[in-house]
């Protein structure tokens, strides 16, 4: 009987060089292994390459990582194509760090990744994942939400079963917050920063923004950053149902960048504001003066 051949880890070149997505997903899935390490915590091999500590109470995102080893592969491919070694990248709404790990690997020791995650439990796991993968010299984690100003304590609500949909509730009063708590939400306060103030020392090349309703505030607080980052590429999750003034926000965005939307094939194509406003689900917008790769 011949011995089994060991399955080696994938490289970035492997992930980029697969002939098609099905092959890439299969290669990642074949390397997905899971170990229970603590109550509510598992260690998983993600993207055939990275180790990630995951909260097993999460039924929205974590089961996909435990089963398949990847998440949103069309966006994963887009990041692989459009981020470069030595660049500076931001991960807003970093969660447990799936995109943070990928970004850190791509930019390398000469680059920089700043990952913002306000949820205390997710930020703890994010920091552990940075450390276990050896990216402490590349990644800076910040336990803060991002918005239009700096504030010490902004109400924040989240479900342990689906923390990726945690969100700021800046106008909520005590009665509203008590209602969330009665429904099983974790309720607390988190610090908030604007990107103009938080990232003032260098231009940024890439930003992934997934902030569950804070899109307008983030946009308002990053205009200076955009002005000093002429080569920035922004991947923005946008849902008009979560915005106070979606048409006005899209008009402001379109005044600075061509409107393009990333499809499930990972390709960014031109779109009209009316198409985005008509969507009931999230649109993933690509905002840049540069054409996508």
Name the one residue in this structure whose structure tokens are 């429904």.
Answer: 183
* Token digits of residue 51: 């180790």
CATH architecture assignment, domain 12-287: 3-Layer(aba) Sandwich (3.40)
pLDDT band at 6 (very low <50, low <70, confident <90, very high): low
**242-248 mean pLDDT:** 94
Give residues with Cβ within 8 angstroms of 17, minimum separation 6: none
pTM exceeds cut of 0.85: yes
Residue 223 has pLDDT above 80, yes or no: yes
Percent of the chain having pLDDT more than 70? Answer: 98
65 and 52 Cβ atoms separated by less than 8 Å: yes
* Token digits of residue 180: 């969330």
pLDDT band at 201 (very low <50, low <70, confident <90, very high): confident
Q: Over the stretch 164-198, which tens digit does the pLDDT of each residue have?
A: 889 988 888 999 999 999 999 999 999 999 999 99
Strand 41-46: give its sheet, edge to edge.
34-38, 41-46, 50-55
Ramachandran category for residue 128: left, alpha or beta (phi over 0 → left; psi -120 to 50 → alpha) = alpha
CA atoms within 13 A on the CB side of 45: 14
28 and 69 Cβ atoms separated by less than 8 Å: yes
* Token digits of residue 154: 């902004």
Name the one residue in this structure whose structure tokens are 């803060």.
Answer: 144
CB atoms inside a 10 Å sphere around CB 26:
13
């Amino acid at each position: 009987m011949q011995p089994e051949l060991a399955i080696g880890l994938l490289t970035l070149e492997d992930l980029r060089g697969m002939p098609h997505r099905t092959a890439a997903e299969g290669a990642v899935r074949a390397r997905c292994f899971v170990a229970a390490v603590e109550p509510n915590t598992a260690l998983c091999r993600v993207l055939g390459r990275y180790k990630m500590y995951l909260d097993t109470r999460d039924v929205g995102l974590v089961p996909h990582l435990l089963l398949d080893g990847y998440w949103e592969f069309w966006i994963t491919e887009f990041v692989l194509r459009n981020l470069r070694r030595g660049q500076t990248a931001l991960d807003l709404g970093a969660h447990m760090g799936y995109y943070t790990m990928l970004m850190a690997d791509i930019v390398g020791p000469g680059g920089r990744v700043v990952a913002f995650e306000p949820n205390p439990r997710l930020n703890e796991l994010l920091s552990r994942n940075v450390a276990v993968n050896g990216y402490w010299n590349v990644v800076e984690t910040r336990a803060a939400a991002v918005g239009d100003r700096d504030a010490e304590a902004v109400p924040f609500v989240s479900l342990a079963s689906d923390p990726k949909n945690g969100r700021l509730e800046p106008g909520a009063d005590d009665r509203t917050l008590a209602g969330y708590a009665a429904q099983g939400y974790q309720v607390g306060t988190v610090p908030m920063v604007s990107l103009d103030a938080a990232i003032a020392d260098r231009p940024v090349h890439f930003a992934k923004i997934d902030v569950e309703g804070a899109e307008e505030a983030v946009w308002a607080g990053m205009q200076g950053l955009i002005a000093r980052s002429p080569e920035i590429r922004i991947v923005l999750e946008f849902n008009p149902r979560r915005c106070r003034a979606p048409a006005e926000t899209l008009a402001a965005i379109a005044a600075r960048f061509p409107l393009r939307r990333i499809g499930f094939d990972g390709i960014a194509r031109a779109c009209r504001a009316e198409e985005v406003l008509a969507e009931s689900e999230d649109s993933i917008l690509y905002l840049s003066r540069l054409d996508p790769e």
